[in-house]
Amino acid sequence: MLEFCYELPYEDMDFTDPETHKLYRIGRGEQGVLLVRPYTDDICAHWKFRTPDIAVKSANKIFAMYLDYRDEKDFVGMDMCRKFLEMGFTRSRRYANHRTGKKYDDEGKVRPQEPDHATCDFAKSAQVFKHVRDIVAKNDTYVRMRKQWRKEIEHSQEARVTALANASNVTRAQYTKSKVSRAA
């Protein structure tokens, strides 16, 4: 698995462009969830978890967006929806465990969990997002497209070099040379 690449100029990139699209990396968990535009902007507008009712509406909307991306065979959009559902789960759990959202105190020690960390509204919101995230992550179409993306896009250095060259002002020779010198 390739890690999410944080070195690209994301603020200048449009991942709906066919060449830029090829630069997308799945990464681990929710890596890059706030960088891949316009997907981030579109999905984030609906991402909320303050109460279980709000979480249900949010997760359902993101799931509907996932289905639209799936119908369009847009794996990047599908995976970004999965990442936002994952982030809904992890952030809700963070606030269930620590109401301030801060896991560590000023001395770097882990704060104790809230007494109601398993039953509070944030815990219920987390369950909502986890349930929908699991549906997405186990969906046959998603699993198949994820494997295909990893095989055909992520593991093709030639495709990556070409996509980088076409999506930016970096020339093919410059990128290839910089990758070779970093590897040495």
Q: Model confidence over 35-66: pLDDT tens digits?
A: 999 999 999 999 999 999 999 999 999 999 99
**Token couple for 51:** 């109460």
Side chain identity, residue 104 = Y
**Token couple for 58:** 């949010």
Instruction: Decide if pLDDT at 165 tops 70.
Output: no
- Phi–psi pair at 80, nearest 5 degrees: -65, -40
> Residue 151 — very low, low, confident or very high, per pLDDT cuts 50/70/90?
confident
Segment 71-76 shows an average pLDDT of 96
Instruction: Decide if pLDDT at 6 tops 90.
Output: no
| 95 Cα distance to chain centroid | 20
Instruction: Decide if pLDDT at 175 tops 50.
Output: no
What pLDDT score does 27 carry?
Answer: 86
d(CA 150, CA 170): 24
Higher pLDDT, 126 or 5: 126
Quick check: pTM over 0.85?
no
What pLDDT score does 19 carry?
Answer: 83
Instruction: Decide if pLDDT at 96 tops 90.
Output: yes
d(CA 150, CA 139): 17
In tens, the pLDDT along 8-22 reads: 888 889 999 988 888
In tens, the pLDDT along 127-138 reads: 999 999 999 999
> Domain segments of the chain: what residues?
18-25+33-183
Higher pLDDT, 171 or 24: 24
d(CA 94, CA 121): 12
